[in-house]
Amino acid sequence: FDPSGHRKQSKAEAKEILAEATELLAEYQMRLAAQDTYGVVMVLQAMDAAGKDGTIRHVMSGVNPQGVQVSSFKVPSSEDLNHDYLWRYARKLPERGNIGIFNRSYYEEVLVVRVHPQILAAQKIPAKLKDRGIWNRRFREINDWEHYLTDQGYRFVKLFLNVSKEEQRYRFLSRIDDGDKNWKFSANDSKERAYWDDYQKAFSEILSRTSTPWAPWYVILADDKPFARVAAAGVLAHTLIDIDPRYPAVSKEARDALQVQKAALEAEAPAGAAPDPYAAALAEKAAEKAAEKAGGKKADKAEKAEKAGKKGKKA
């Protein structure tokens, strides 16, 4: 991809790549679940209307819902505020074998809380700890927490969907002009837009202070939705490929035990039924595939012969 955001791929191509990627993600998610050892946390941060929800919907479209937990973090509840600031995020960590998606995350604690000092003022931490050093401490605490979790078998996929101010204006207007999208628009969104520069500054510090070897940030250009989705799927796929989860190996003893069970089930076959109808179906499928392959080879040969013929003519 061209990093300037000018798309070389067509929309159709991006769709095709995304379809392939989601298939791969589905397979890897099954392996991740079967292995039951690593957990993946996908963190999504962005300005409003950058496409967090659409990205989640498209990227996870092929994945078994049982292996995915999406958590959307909004304004903290009074129960949240009665705990340390990481508490509510720790409670939503995915189980081993699962993918947890954080739609907004603990990064709001160094983002919206930083942009609006009154939010920090309302947090119930001791007053003397609300000094200017608090952001440095939070960066360190977040890095340490991610490091600790990495040592526990978690892998982080941190995505910043970077939408431009002009594209946000366009998308806000679409949410106002298009009645079906009205529900997506809140007056608060325009209020936050007024703090655009403060957010950009906070984001840039987050990127430089919390991109670590164990939990790096990925900045994704978000003005082009199909591109952003492919990029997000790519980063997640890369992480899963790196984990390389495997289906647990079954021991020789366990396999022998299965054969004993198989014999018992075969002995239960009613009169006239195949002892193992599944094996019969499997053999039939394999035969069909072999026939297809043979046919395909013939077609390939014919095509090659034709091409060779054309070359011959040219020469």
Q: Which residues bind ligand AMP (CB under 6 A)?
A: 73-76, 104, 108-109, 112-113, 119
Which CB atom, from 74 or from 252, has the smaller least distance to ligand AMP? Answer: 74
Which CB atom, from 164 or from 190, has the smaller least distance to Mg ion? Answer: 190
CB of 288 to ligand AMP, least distance (A): 50
Which among ligand AMP, Mg ion, none contacts residue 73 (Cβ within 5 to 8 A by kind)? ligand AMP
Nearest to 230 by CA among 17, 36, 70: 17
Which CB atom, from 106 or from 217, has the smaller least distance to ligand AMP? Answer: 106
CB of 173 to ligand AMP, least distance (A): 17
Answer whether 103's CB lies under 8 Å from 71's CB. yes
Nearest to 15 by CA among 59, 68, 56: 59
CB of 42 to Mg ion, least distance (A): 19
CB of 110 to ligand AMP, least distance (A): 10
Taking only Cα atoms into account, the Rg of the chain, rounded to an integer number of angstroms, comes to: 26
Which CB atom, from 85 or from 218, has the smaller least distance to ligand AMP? Answer: 85
Answer whether 100's CB lies under 8 Å from 41's CB. yes
Which CB atom, from 75 or from 283, has the smaller least distance to ligand AMP? Answer: 75
Phi-psi region of 81 (alpha: psi -120 to 50; beta: other; left: phi over 0): alpha
Answer whether 170's CB lies under 8 Å from 53's CB. no
Which CB atom, from 39 or from 76, has the smaller least distance to ligand AMP? Answer: 76
Which among ligand AMP, Mg ion, none contacts residue 222 (Cβ within 5 to 8 A by kind)? none
CB of 76 to ligand AMP, least distance (A): 5
Answer whether 28's CB lies under 8 Å from 245's CB. yes
Residue 56 phi/psi, 5-degree rounding, is -60, -50
Return the exposure string of 48-66: e unless at least 16 CB atoms fall within 10 Å of the residue's CB, then b: bbbbbeebbebbbebbeee
CB of 184 to Mg ion, least distance (A): 7
CA distance 89 to 102: 9
Which CB atom, from 18 or from 113, has the smaller least distance to ligand AMP? Answer: 113
Nearest to 101 by CA among 39, 180, 19, 50: 39
Residues 45-74 that bind Mg ion (CB under 5 A): 48
Q: How many CB atoms lie within 10 A of CB 202?
A: 19
CB of 233 to ligand AMP, least distance (A): 22
Count residues near Mg ion (CB under 5 A): 1
Which among ligand AMP, Mg ion, none contacts residue 75 (Cβ within 5 to 8 A by kind)? ligand AMP
Helix locations, 178-249, DSSP H: 187-193, 196-210, 225-243
DSSP SS3 for 41: strand
109 lies in the binding site for Mg ion (CB under 5 A): no
Which among ligand AMP, Mg ion, none contacts residue 145 (Cβ within 5 to 8 A by kind)? none
Footprint of Mg ion (CB under 5 A):
48
